[in-house]
Amino acid sequence: MRAEGLSSRPLKHFLVSRPAKFRSANVEAAATVQSMALEHDVRHVLVDLPRGFEALLRQCSSPRGALDSAVRMGLLRWSESVVRAYEPIVSCAYRLAREGVKVVCYLEAEELERERGLAARIAQLVLRASIKRVDDRDLEDWLQALDEYGSGGQRLVDRVVYLLRAIEGSTAIILTGLEGLWLAREIRSRGLEVAVRVVGTPYLRSPLEVMIIKRSRGELTADELRGLISEYVDYVRNYVLKYEDLEEAHKKWALERAPWLRELLPFEGLSEESYGLNL
């Protein structure tokens, strides 16, 4: 029990960041979350799945059943590739929930729908850039889309901080995408303490991700934008559209761009079973 009148340091939370649409990264993230939950006696885990998914974790008899139900209900409107990539995360959440950990899915439906709309706009811009020269009007359209990507970040911070404050007195694990380092800085600026673990690396950011980051920092020049648009058109046309699995497409692209990454990639023989995940 804390002594009367003595101040204590803020409770530390943990944030696990990874490339969220890659199955291999989610396998590692799931194992990391399970290990942290056991080591630190964590009672709350915030997962980057749509709000309402928690009910399916309780109602369905298997992790895959929860995913299939979410797709049928329209709660998850992702490609099959991304749904499959999330299986390890859902399996981890399913197990933790049955071990008494409170799993909270924090993505808002409105935000997911906004991201879907943005992805459709980017696809239209890519198509336009693939059949005509990118002019100043096109650059303005790209910049507007990039700014909209950045606008959702503050709402994410507000939601996560609200949830962390609601469970004051208990340690939580937050599972995020590659925005994790930025999110952790924002959480700390609100007076909460959080430690970060990044998994699923090394990871070479796609041209679109580079555009979003540089634009958010005010570092994106017109010439850089033109070059990155050209690179992204090549990325989509020659990699994403040629492979059914986004992770495979990205890995092919990354290794051609930076062959030295091959020496840093995790051993490919590792499987879900190696991490003790039953998917």
At 98-129, the pLDDT tens digits run 999 999 999 998 888 999 999 999 999 999 99
pLDDT of residue 1: 35
Residue 73's identity, in one-letter code, is M
pLDDT of residue 223: 96
pLDDT of residue 7: 42
Sequence ranges of the domains in the chain: 12-250
pLDDT of residue 154: 81
pLDDT of residue 4: 40
> Going by C-beta distance under 8 Å and a sequence separation of 6 or more, which residues neighbour residue 147?
215
Q: Packing angle between helix 136-151 and helix 109-131, nearest 10 degrees?
A: 160
Strand order, beta sheet including 102-107? 102-107, 44-50, 172-176, 12-17, 193-198
pLDDT of residue 149: 86
**pTM for the predicted model, two decimal places:** 0.87
pLDDT of residue 9: 56
At 3-29, the pLDDT tens digits run 443 445 567 899 999 999 999 999 999
Residue 117's identity, in one-letter code, is G
Using a pLDDT cut of 90, give the percent of the chain over it: 77
Strands 12-17 and 44-50, bridge-based pairing: unpaired
Q: Which residues of the chain have pLDDT under 50?
A: 1-7, 267-276, 278-279
Query: 47 with 228: CB under 8 angstroms?
Result: no
pLDDT of residue 187: 95
Please say whether the dihedral angle defined by the alpha carbons of residues 66, 159, 180 and 116, taken in this order, is positive or negative: positive
User: Which tokens sit at 66?
Assistant: 């929860």
C-alpha 120/C-alpha 97 separation (Å) is: 35
pLDDT of residue 265: 67
